[in-house]
Structure 1
Amino acid sequence: MKKQTFYLKQTIYLGITLFSMFFGAGNLIFAPWLGAQAAGNGWTALAGFILTAVILPISVILIIAPYKSAKDMLSRIYKPLGPIFMTIIYLLIGPVIAIPRTATTSMEMWTWLITDTLFARIFYTIIFFGVSVLLALYPGKLKDLLGRLSGPVLLILILLVCIPVLFRMPDVAAATEPYLSQPFFSGLNEGYQTMDILAAFCFGLVILLNIRQSEAGKINERRTLLLTALIAGFLLASVYGLLTITGMRQNASLVTCTNGAQILSLLAQSVWGDFSRPLIGLIFLLACCNVCAGLLACCAEYFSLLIKRFSYRSWLFAFAIAGVISSLIGLDAILAWGGKILSIICPIALVLLLTGFYHRPKMPN
Structure 2
Amino acid sequence: MKPYNSRKLSLKEYLVVSSLLFGLFFGAGNLIFPLHLGQLAGGKWIVATIGFLITGVLLPLLSVLAISVTKSEGVFDVGKPLGVGFALVFMVLIHATIGPLFGTPRTATVSFTVGVEPFVGSNNHTLALFIFSVVFFLLAFGFSYHENHILDNVGKVLNPLFLALLFIMFLVAFLCPLGNPMTAAVTKDYVNASLINGFLQGYNTMDALAGLAFGVTVVTAVRQMGQRKESDVSKVVAKSGFVGMAAVAFIYLLLIVAGAMSLGHFKLSGDGGVAFTQIVNYYGGAFGQAVLAVLITVTCLTTAVGLVAAFAQDFHKHFPAVSYHTWLALTTFASFVVANFGLEQIIAWSTPMLMFLYPLSMVLILLSVCSPLFKRNSYVYFFVVLFTVVPALGDMVVAFPAVVSHSAFGLAVAKYREMLPLAEFGLSWVVPALVGLVIGLAMYVYKDKKMSTQTVE
- TM-score class normalised by the smaller sequence: 0.7 to 0.9
User: Hey, what does 2:67 align to over in structure 1?
Assistant: 64
Q: 2:313 aligns with which of 301, 310, 313?
A: 301
**Matched residues in 2 for 1:21 and 1:134: separation?**
22
Flag the 1:227–1:144 CA change in 2: closer, same or farther, 3 A: farther
1:63 maps to amino acid: A
- 8 Å Cα contact 1:32-1:244 kept in structure 2: yes
| SS in structure 2 of the partner of residue 31 of structure 1 | helix
2:138 maps to amino acid: G
User: Hey, what does 2:172 align to over in structure 1?
Assistant: 164
Flag the 1:34–1:118 CA change in 2: closer, same or farther, 3 A: closer
- 8 Å Cα contact 2:62-2:366 kept in structure 1: no
Deviation at 1:186, TM superposition (A): 1.0
**Matched residues in 2 for 1:164 and 1:290: separation?**
28
Structure 2 counterparts to residues 199-210 of structure 1, below 5 A? 199-208=210-219
1:100 maps to amino acid: P
**Matched residues in 1 for 2:144 and 2:13: separation?**
20
TM-score (norm 1): 0.86
Q: 1:267 aligns with which of 238, 261, 279?
A: 279
**Matched residues in 1 for 2:138 and 2:17: separation?**
24
Cα RMSD, aligned residues only: 3.0
Q: 2:93 aligns with which of 66, 88, 96?
A: 88
- 8 Å Cα contact 1:18-1:229 kept in structure 2: yes
| SS in structure 2 of the partner of residue 178 of structure 1 | helix
- 8 Å Cα contact 2:107-2:301 kept in structure 1: yes
| SS in structure 2 of the partner of residue 219 of structure 1 | coil
**Matched residues in 1 for 2:226 and 2:146: separation?**
23
Deviation at 1:25, TM superposition (A): 5.0
User: Hey, what does 1:53 align to over in structure 2?
Assistant: 56
- When structure 1 is superposed on structure 2, of 237-246 and 285-294 the one drifting more is 285-294
- 8 Å Cα contact 1:304-1:312 kept in structure 2: yes
Deviation at 1:8, TM superposition (A): 4.2
- 8 Å Cα contact 2:19-2:244 kept in structure 1: yes
- When structure 1 is superposed on structure 2, of 349-358 and 163-172 the one drifting more is 349-358
- When structure 1 is superposed on structure 2, of 260-269 and 147-156 the one drifting more is 147-156
| SS in structure 2 of the partner of residue 67 of structure 1 | coil
1:218 aligned onto 2:229 = no
- 8 Å Cα contact 1:16-1:151 kept in structure 2: no
Q: Which has the higher contact order (CA 8 A, sep 6+)?
A: 1
User: Hey, what does 1:112 align to over in structure 2?
Assistant: 118
User: Hey, what does 1:195 align to over in structure 2?
Assistant: 206
| SS in structure 1 of the partner of residue 189 of structure 2 | coil
1:40 maps to amino acid: G
**Matched residues in 2 for 1:282 and 1:42: separation?**
31
User: Hey, what does 1:343 align to over in structure 2?
Assistant: 355
- 8 Å Cα contact 1:17-1:142 kept in structure 2: no
Identity, in percent, stands at: 26
1:51 maps to amino acid: I
Which structure's CA Rg is the greater one? 2
User: Structure 1: where are the runs of 5+ without partners?
Assistant: none
Q: 1:28 aligns with which of 14, 28, 31?
A: 31
**Matched residues in 2 for 1:11 and 1:130: separation?**
36
**Matched residues in 2 for 1:61 and 1:139: separation?**
25
How many residue pairs get matched?
354
Flag the 1:256–1:236 CA change in 2: closer, same or farther, 3 A: closer
User: Hey, what does 1:128 align to over in structure 2?
Assistant: 136
Deviation at 1:163, TM superposition (A): 1.6
Deviation at 1:88, TM superposition (A): 1.2
User: Hey, what does 2:394 align to over in structure 1?
Assistant: none
